[in-house]
């Protein structure tokens, strides 16, 4: 889960912030753009963070700023109607995962997919997700609710 507020203003070093921000951004941007593009734009955002560390440290929401940098960077990588490739889930606890999950997630609207993955996959709160995406909590709640409904429908169709 990401910390509330700006961790840099709370005395964290930039290196500590960068390690945590990289992990958080990678999750969100891979959920949004797929494996290949998500990793590339996370690297671009983290390079921006290093080059502009004073600006990032002064931002009220540095993680949200870097998410937007990643989104802007994605324009160079994303082609129209390109299929999203999501990471394969590893079975855990001895129970197999739903094999139709990755294709169903790929078939969702990007905003809904990001909300569902961050909230239900990684356990983020609605407020943390809203802060990262820089949208109101009510918008995230709508995306997550509609995304779960669509995910259930897609999984039902695939079985």
Predicted confidence (pLDDT) per residue in 94-118, tens digit: 445 677 888 889 889 999 999 999 9
- Mean per-residue pLDDT, 25-34: 93
| Largest distance between two CA atoms of the chain | 51
Q: If you classify domain 98-159 with CATH, what class do you get? A: mainly alpha
Tokens 């983020």, residue located = 124
> How deeply is 30 buried, as exposed, middle or buried, from its count of CB atoms within 10 A (0-12, 13-18, 19+)?
buried
Q: Write down the pLDDT at residue 111.
A: 95
Helix (H) or strand (E) segment spanning residue 137: helix 137-158
Q: What is the pLDDT of residues 123-133, one digit of tens each?
A: 999 999 999 99
Domain ranges of the chain: 11-80, 98-159
Return the higher-pLDDT residue of 53 and 126. Answer: 126
Indicate the pTM of the whole model.
0.78
Return the minimum-mean-pLDDT range out of 10-14, 52-56, 75-79: 10-14
- Using left for φ > 0, alpha for ψ between -120 and 50, and beta otherwise, residue 4 falls in beta
Does the structure show a pLDDT above 60 at 90?
no
> How deeply is 141 buried, as exposed, middle or buried, from its count of CB atoms within 10 A (0-12, 13-18, 19+)?
middle
- Mean per-residue pLDDT, 21-25: 94
Q: Write down the pLDDT at residue 83.
A: 62
Q: What is the pLDDT of residues 56-87, one digit of tens each?
A: 988 999 999 999 999 999 988 776 556 666 66
């Amino acid at each position: 889960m990401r910390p509330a507020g700006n961790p840099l203003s709370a005395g964290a070093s930039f290196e500590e912030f960068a390690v945590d921000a990289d992990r958080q951004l990678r999750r969100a941007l891979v959920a949004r753009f797929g494996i290949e593009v998500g990793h590339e734009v996370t690297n671009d955002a983290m390079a921006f963070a290093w080059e502009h560390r004073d600006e990032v440290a002064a931002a009220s929401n540095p993680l949200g700023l870097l998410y937007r940098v990643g989104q802007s960077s994605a324009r160079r990588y994303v082609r129209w109607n390109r299929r999203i490739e999501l990471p394969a889930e590893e079975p855990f606890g001895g129970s197999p995962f739903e094999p139709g999950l990755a294709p169903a997630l790929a078939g969702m609207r990007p905003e809904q997919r990001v909300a569902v993955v961050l909230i239900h996959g990684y356990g983020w709160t609605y407020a943390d997700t809203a802060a990262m995406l820089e949208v109101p909590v009510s918008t995230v709640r709508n995306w997550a609710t509609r995304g779960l409904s669509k995910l259930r429908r897609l999984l039902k169709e695939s079985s």
